Amino acid sequence: MKVSVRRREFILGIASAAGALPFAAVAQRQPERMRRVAVLLYANQSDPEEQALLAAFMGELERLGWRNADNVEVEILWARGDLDRLRSNAAQLIGRAPDVIVAGSAAARAALDETNEKPIIFVNVTDPIGLGLVSDLAHPGGNITGFYNYDFAMAGKWLEVLKEIAPSVSRVSVLGSRQIPSYDDWVRAAQDFAGPAGIEIDVGAVQTAAEIDEVLDAAGRKTDTGILVLPGSFISLHRDVIIAAARRLRLPAIYPRPAYSQAGGLLSYGIDVSDIYRRAATYVDRILKGAKPGELPVQSPTKFELVINLTTARELGLEVPQRLRLLADQLIK
């Protein structure tokens, strides 16, 4: 078959032009690999506070350019308050080859027990060194880093605020989970403040819902008693039970997170956990872009909130001091 001179010149011209372009401009562009982020949680999926924290995390990821089901796939595994399920979930997610694991509070240890290779970012953890997650906050090394919530000295601040709103309190039961090794450290920190302040400390370490009732009922049988509720996944899981019992027994109680006061607890002073989750998303972004978790420092909280439930204060016959009213980030009426 003969090709005319004009047609031959035309074909050659196209080939020549194509050859002059960069290869990427003419070759079919390969789609970017979908990145995988696994979020391992001890909590219940139905907990509105947990859903709000996840929304903060996902919102920050999207702001950074990571859109779920577009260029990143975020999988959330809920343990629903079951430690065996938490460990099982941790083992399962390693088999799904995530690029990054985000582990909330109690889940961090379970994730690290399963892998020393996959990057892990822990969130809202107390005493990451004491838990054996890292050996140095500034230079964590290994495959894990993250964000911790409180120093133990916070126990003194909680007792100070509780005493200010309920001056008659002379005994405080420290309600916390026996599952966390830092419980004794919290008690010692509370005792350091309590002695000079004329407060006696009762131990209230629990492991079951029934034990929570026992500790609170015992506190309710004593006069001038208050409750210091410690942070922790197990305690948070039973938030509504604790709040209801404290109100029924007319026990002034201070809590570590705003969600407690918003649900009817007397007052809370603690970190803005949503901010912690947003900051965790920035670490996910950096790791997906090539950063090593061991080179990212463990970070402390930067935002704290005081929330007072005025309705509960009236129920308990307490007058909220003007100083606390002015300091409060939120007054619930």
* Domain spans, the chain: 35-150+272-295, 154-271+304-332
Three-state SS at 44 = coil
Same fold, 35-150+272-295 and 154-271+304-332: yes
Radius of gyration of the chain (CA): 26
Question: φ and ψ at 284, to 5 degrees?
Answer: -60, -45
Residue 16: the pLDDT is 40
Give the pLDDT mean for 68-88: 95
Three-state SS at 26 = helix
CATH code for the structural domain at 154-271+304-332: 3.40.50.2300
pLDDT tens-digit profile of 178-199? 887 789 999 999 999 999 999 9
Topology at the third CATH level for domain 35-150+272-295: Rossmann fold (3.40.50)
Residue 31: the pLDDT is 56
Give the pLDDT mean for 52-70: 96
- The average confidence (pLDDT) of the chain is 90
Quick one: 12 exposed, middle or buried, by C-beta within 10 A (0-12, 13-18, 19+)? exposed
CA 121 to chain centre: 11
What is the model's pTM?
0.86
13, pLDDT greater than 70: no
Nearest to 268 by CA among 308, 320, 224, 221: 308
pLDDT tens-digit profile of 220-261? 999 999 999 999 889 999 999 999 999 999 999 999 999 999
Report the relative pairing of strands 267-271 and 304-309 from DSSP bridges: antiparallel
